[in-house]
Amino acid sequence: ALGLVLVFRTNSSYARLVEARVLLGNLVRCVRDLARLAQYIPDAAASARREVVGYAATIGYACEAHVRKGRTRANEDDPTAFRVDASGDLARILGESKAAEYSQASNQPMCMAAAASKALKRALEAGMPGMMHSECEAAVTELHKIIGGCERIQSTPIPMSYTRHTSRSLMLWLLTLPFALWPAMELATIPAVFLITYLMLGIDEIGIQIEEPFAILPVKPLAEVCERDVRELDKQLNLGAFVDQRAVGV
């Protein structure tokens, strides 16, 4: 029965891990779609096009900071303080002023998606085809759904009491296991208990490790993939959004 409980918890944790990875994969896909569709924004709204492409390139970094807020300390030099700060990447791509603006937001990726939607509205008013505008808005809406899905996983951890109770029950069972095996196995009880303990504690530790998927998933590399692909699309489609490292006009 205890083994079934351990496997059930590990499976639940793994399901969270898979869902989080699917959400991050969808984030990369939506970013590519948004950057690709930006080619339909007319030159009359070139500034809006640059904004949309710039936000597409940076929203991955904003999502990373949003799901990896970590814990903070009053003293920033305290070695026990940790959190992901996207301001450096935002400043590199969007500029210092925009980075400072978004650093004050409690939900950076949501604000960026809203700003991209606002830029798309200006593009529509400047003559962007309505169907292409709808496609871009659909990509932005999907980004909102992805952000919400990530927040749901992050804000709904597996209850600590469940994890602790399972671990304590496992330790109690392992402590009493030698007494049950000794009459039948005698000295063979020692390696048998060692092997069983290794396997059971390993399953328990795996479940604990993958409970918080954003702590172990490659969020930063995926954000870098988003930026790299957006820059490649900018070059291939002649969107004119980037000069050197920064998105112009954002």
The pLDDT tens digits for 163-176 are 888 888 899 999 99
> pLDDT digit string (tens) for 7-38?
888 888 999 999 999 999 999 999 999 999 99
- Is the pLDDT reported for residue 195 higher than 90? yes
Q: How confident is the model at residue 240, as a pLDDT?
A: 85
Residues 197-241 pLDDT 10s: 999 999 888 888 898 899 899 999 999 999 999 999 999 999 888
Q: How far apart are alpha carbons 24 and 33 in whole angstroms?
A: 14
Burial class (CB in 10 A: 0-12, 13-18, 19+), 65: buried
CB neighbour class for 71 (10 Å; exposed up to 12, middle 13-18, buried from 19): exposed
What pLDDT does 247 receive?
A: 66
pLDDT of 58 reads 95
The DSSP annotation for 104-172 comes to T-SSHHHHHHHHHHHHHHHHHHTT--HHHHHHHHHHHHHHHHHHHHHHHHHHSPPPHHHHHHHHHHHHH
Nearest CA-CA partner of 57 in 241, 216, 207 = 241
pLDDT of residue 244 exceeding 70: no
As given in the structure block, the two tokens for residue 179 are 């007494």
Q: Is it the case that residue 245 has pLDDT exceeding 70?
A: no
Kindly state the tokens that stand for 146.
């992805």
**pTM to 2 decimals?**
0.86
